[in-house]
Amino acid sequence: MSETQSEPPVWSPLDLRREHLLNNLVTVVALLFWGRVLLYGLNQEVPRAKYGAVFLAGGVLIYVLDELRDLEGTDRLERLGLWACALVGVAVPAYVWLHYEVLETQRIGYALGYEYAIGGLFGLVVLYLTYRAFGAAFAGVVIASVLYAYFGNLITGLLSHGGIAAEQIINVLTMEFDGFFGSITQVVAVKVALFLLYAGLMQGYGAFDLIMRLSFRTAKYLRSGVAQSAVISSLIVGSINGAQTANAAMTGSFTIPLMKESGMKADSAGGIEAVASSGGQIMPPVMGAAAFVMASLIPGIGYVDVLIAGIIPALVFYISVAIGVHYMSIKQLPEGGIDLDSRLDDLEEGYHPVIEAIRFGVPFAVLLYTLGIAQWTVISSALYTCGAMVVTGAGLPIILSIVGDADPIGTVRDAANDTVSGFKFGAVAIAPIAIIIAAVNGIVDLLNATGLPGKLSLAIVGVAGGILLFTAILSMVVCLILGLGMPTVAAYTIVALLIAPTLTGEFALEPVAAHFFVFYAAILSGITPPIAIAVVVTTGIAESNFWKTALEALKLGLPLFVLPFTFIYNPEIVTGGLGLATAGSGLIVLLGAVAITHGLNCAPDPFGISSPLSYGVRAVYVALGVVAMVWPSLLPRLGVVAVALVLIALQTQVTRDTGVGAVPGGD
């Protein structure tokens, strides 16, 4: 259902009863789904490929039931179609599960006649549910991949291939443990799912309300703090759920109205939330599903290595965004702001801050210790984190009710309801991810079968003339185009297959640097028109103009479009661990981003120079910032940073002496 729908549907008594039954059914299936996930996490008693099939079946069933719950009774044809999707979506993975040994060991490269039929039906189900969940753009990518695989013999030139028969396409996608049930689906099923359960439990116990309250309280001490609440809350929430659209919808529903109420333009409010939400998934210690996929795609590194590599770039990302938000806020927000206490009252008050810190801090500490210090496996770390979340989230209120004046029985009932709600939240969140990952896995394996990655690599290098800078720019454009309209994990997986090999194979770049380049480019596609999926969500909440909101997001995020090139020309920022060299390089990059932000947002007449000459001054700031972020030698970077800081200081002094060319936020 659309988030901007003006009038809710009118529900008949029959619709209400049906919705109630389906809601209960979703809850029951969610509990069974997580029971199976937890059982695998504890025992790992079946092959990963076999487990991936049952995981995908559960995701399809939960997604369909959740969609059915939102349909009106008049949508009978659509309802019938969804029930058919549920039947096929469960039956075919069940068939694959039951015949795993035969399919995996004996029948490789071919299938039986009826298997092609049911496999084709399952492919149509995945395509339809992909369209339903993520729109026509991504469904079009799936169709284009299938058509390219089938009609490759009709294409001339570098991208031609011999063509793949329809039966073989179906076999690759459904009856072999590649395609929909392939390695990426297995990574999500085994490693990502439990972190979505952790996110669901946090939501069930009220952690996200706590995050919003903390963000709003922080906003009381900064003039730009109202807008900074979007940055802070999106950073924390996005690190766990790893989905820019879900992050934008969840935090934006609070932060965007707050920013508008405080005096910020709707376009700016939507743009700020879109950028902040897009970056949440790059923040350790979770980094969403894409970090797990990256660890599986780069030989010789683990998930913890990806997290360590991502710390400095994530800090640069968020600090530069926070500074840009400050500039934008100072221009628009009045002195004194709004009464945040009244907005805090709108959020349900929880326990004492110390109690809440224990409830949600202990599981987070368990995650940090098990994953980062003890370096347990991802599955073990996630299991212990989820267990700690249940113990503290449900246990502490029960203990407090026993020693206090509250009703213990009622508290136990509330804790049980919150736990079940958390399981349900997590299941509903991961269901569309399971579907999109299955589709992406199918695209990846089909394109691999056609040899497209190697051919595209040759094409990019040929067009760029073998020059690294031109290749990087062209690769960035391709990443932005391929990522339009896709969730980050899907966008990253595709560009990691198609683009990263170009950078590592032709120019011998470090694999981590190349993958972080395409990862950040895939993220930025969420704020890049014409689709800009994160902006679409925030525009709906802000009731703003899409193109103006996208322009505000691009203006705020411009340093972030330069940041991926840092990974190519100064790879130590992601390959150097957490040493002084990495920190020093990260600081220079951050100061470069600040120079770009200042150039874009400083007063209309810096140094008292009026337009159009003032645009030249702004361009100088931007150019200095780009050099500081990208230039491969240390001394020139230090020099341009020093020049930029001196210019900013001089501009501030001119402002104080003459009162013109004011720096936002200056005295």
With pLDDT > 90 as the criterion, what percentage of the chain qualifies? 35
Q: What is the pLDDT of residue 27?
A: 95
Residue 155 has pLDDT above 60, yes or no: yes
DSSP classification of residue 158: T
Tokens representing 244? 């820019």
CA distance 276 to 40: 35
Instruction: Give the pLDDT band of residue 591 (cuts 50, 70, 90).
Output: very high
Q: Which of 8-17, 199-208, 480-489 has the highest average model confidence (pLDDT)?
A: 199-208
Q: pLDDT (tens digit, 9 = 90+) per residue, 606-620?
A: 665 655 667 788 889
For 599, phi then psi, to 5°, come to -60, -35
Q: pLDDT (tens digit, 9 = 90+) per residue, 494-505?
A: 888 888 988 898
Return the minimum-mean-pLDDT range out of 255-269, 529-543, 559-573, 646-660: 646-660
Please state the rounded mean pLDDT for residues 141-151.
92
Return the minimum-mean-pLDDT range out of 45-54, 271-280, 347-356: 347-356
Residue 60 has pLDDT above 90, yes or no: yes
Radius of gyration of the chain from Cα atoms? 26
Residue 57 has, within 13 A of its CA and on its CB side, a CA count of: 20
DSSP classification of residue 607: G
Q: pLDDT (tens digit, 9 = 90+) per residue, 525-573?
A: 888 887 788 888 888 888 888 889 999 999 888 888 999 999 999 999 9
Q: What is the pLDDT of residue 448?
A: 86
Of the two residues 484 and 510, the one the predictor is more confident about is 510
Q: What is the mean pLDDT of the chain?
A: 84
Return the minimum-mean-pLDDT range out of 99-108, 244-253, 271-280, 406-415: 244-253
Q: State the virtual CA torsion across 301, 302, 305, 310 in degrees, nearest 10.
A: 100
Q: What's the predicted TM-score (pTM) here?
A: 0.80
Enclosing H/E stretch for 22: helix 13-43
Q: pLDDT (tens digit, 9 = 90+) per residue, 363-397?
A: 989 988 887 788 788 889 889 999 999 999 999 99
Please state the rounded mean pLDDT for residues 255-264.
82
Q: What is the pLDDT of residue 491?
A: 81
What sign has the CA pseudo-torsion 241, 245, 248, 253?
negative
Q: pLDDT (tens digit, 9 = 90+) per residue, 294-323?
A: 888 898 888 888 888 988 998 898 888 888
Please state the rounded mean pLDDT for residues 441-445.
89
At 356, the amino acid letter reads E
Residue 489 has, within 13 A of its CA and on its CB side, a CA count of: 31
Please state the rounded mean pLDDT for residues 11-16.
69
